[in-house]
Amino acid sequence: MTDPADLTVTIVDGYVDEPAHFGVPPYISTYPRFTAGALVDAGVPESNVVYHTIDELRDDRQKWRDVADADLMIYIGGMTVPGKYVGGTPAEPDEVRELAWVAEGTTLMGGPIRFGVGDENAGGQDMQRKDLDYDFVAKGDIEAAAYDLVDSALEGFGNRMRDNEELDRWAAKGAFVVEQHPNHPDHLICEMETSRGCAYRCSFCTEPLYGNPSFRTADSVVKEVENLYERGARHFRLGRQADILAFGGDGEAPNPDALRRLYGGIREVAPDLGTLHLDNVNPITIVEWPEKSREALSIIAEHNTAGDTAAFGLESADPVVQEENNLNVSADECFEAVKIVNEVAGWRPGDDPADAPTHGPGASNRLPKLLPGINLLHGLKGESKETFEHNKRFLQRVYDEGLMVRRINIRQVMAFDGTDMSDTGASIAQDHKQLFKKYKQEVREEIDRPMLRRVAPPGTVLPDVHLEYHQDGRTFGRQLGTYPLLVGIPGERELGQTTDIVVTDHGYRSVTGVPYPLDINEASMDELTAIPGIGKSTAGDIVVNRPYDDPGSVGIDANLLKYVQ
């Protein structure tokens, strides 16, 4: 019999992306942490558990020895929504197979990959279940499979879902894994599960495959945050749930008291946290329980960090598509939810919350505390040319009413077995691909850019932007958080550093900025000309006449002094 105390285990994180779960760096998902905790609970010493990301293995082939030599190699991955990523590249099916071939011990695969894989991690695809040459595939929870497999001396397990009592133990015991992540501690955000499953049954979504909502207690989540905080984590996202407003309730109605215990408890055990954001909110919750929702949103905005986003799954503003896909919110209802979030949480640090939403002259130079995000999904049953027009009209209405949304996520469906979309597949998305591309570009030009100017006008300060890559003579970076703005900075600056940035201009979904405050005596020509109102001639005069004892003596418009020191 294999003694768990002698077992060596390597966990490979190929990254996950689900409707209610991020795991591509700088995020670390719950799966590797819970799985590590389950292994320790089953008797495997912490020191015998090795964790690697797929990017680590790509960058350093020597680390493949940990894959080859482990008694048990566990692969975790799976993308059930399409996305584009900067911080990491999700594993492709061929890479997942290679891991199984290299491993000399027992191999176990799990996570949302159990729902299926496609030819690539992209939308407009039919996804199929495949074992990818692994000894075992967890068709239930990977953490439960790992526990049972160790407990059976690597002989096997019954596919099952873990319960909340097990989760309380495994979440606490698995916090040590974050220390092995290459982004730890400064550029890592921990995805936190408050619940999983969904009370609704939209045709395309994999979240209902987890069943009806199952909530953790506030104490359990707070304890996990405390353990992660003690291991050096400072950034947290309450993203693993279908609707944060329903936390601690019946799965539908808001429970403000439970949210007060959750958010207040997190702030108490993690007093110096850098990020506290969320993800999913169901707009129908806000419409059906407006007063409780207002109270809940106010609690969130009181405790979170600025720049937070509540993703709304509108999916389609077309009544035909809504009906055929069992979508639970209409365009009018979603508009009302957008309005309420703006009124309660659309204020900026330094502004009076009673004035929300705050934007325009006189507003603080920080991002709003909490804004909606809009998810639009294409390729659903019943989609026609009119669908695209319905969506554009909805977005234009939001903008014309002076409201704000943090981002608009437009994607095409991925069809998985077990969902209603499996019968239709990706055929509609494929038929409408050219129409989709044209419409997406129109939204970017007509809505995204002016909306971004409203949300983050020139002069907006973005603290702690992490510099990630160079391109075309510029440096690009992002803050940690939910759907952070991509920032382009003139010149090639040292990567891996963080710096405060002030916004100077806007793209469709990104901004240009310069270090804040800009040192007028050290700034480059490119940085100076990035400031609105300073052309090449003025920038040249500034450089020639340096140094300055006081930015006020530079001779530029007083409105531009907010950018410099």
pLDDT-wise least confident of 171-175, 198-202, 403-407, 524-528: 198-202
Max mean pLDDT among 170-179, 239-248, 515-524 falls in 170-179
pLDDT at 513: 96
pLDDT at 123: 43
pLDDT band at 202 (very low <50, low <70, confident <90, very high): low
pLDDT (average), residues 194-198: 80
Looking at per-residue confidence, does 348 or 130 come out higher?
A: 348
CA distance 497 to 71: 38
Give me the helices (H) in 354-489, please. Answer: 385-400, 421-424, 427-431, 433-443, 449-455
pLDDT at 108: 96
pLDDT-wise least confident of 97-106, 298-307, 513-522: 513-522
Tally of helices (H runs) and strands (E runs) in the chain? 19, 22
pLDDT at 425: 63
CA distance 518 to 504: 12
pLDDT of residue 193 exceeding 70: yes
pLDDT of residue 279 exceeding 50: yes
Tokens standing for residue 193: 């599960």
pLDDT-wise least confident of 35-49, 111-125, 212-226: 111-125
pLDDT at 223: 96
Amino acid letter, residue 2:
T
Tokens standing for residue 178: 């974050």
pLDDT of residue 286 exceeding 90: yes
pLDDT at 124: 43
pLDDT at 324: 85
Looking at per-residue confidence, does 123 or 102 come out higher?
A: 102
Residues 6+ apart with CB under 8 A from 47: none
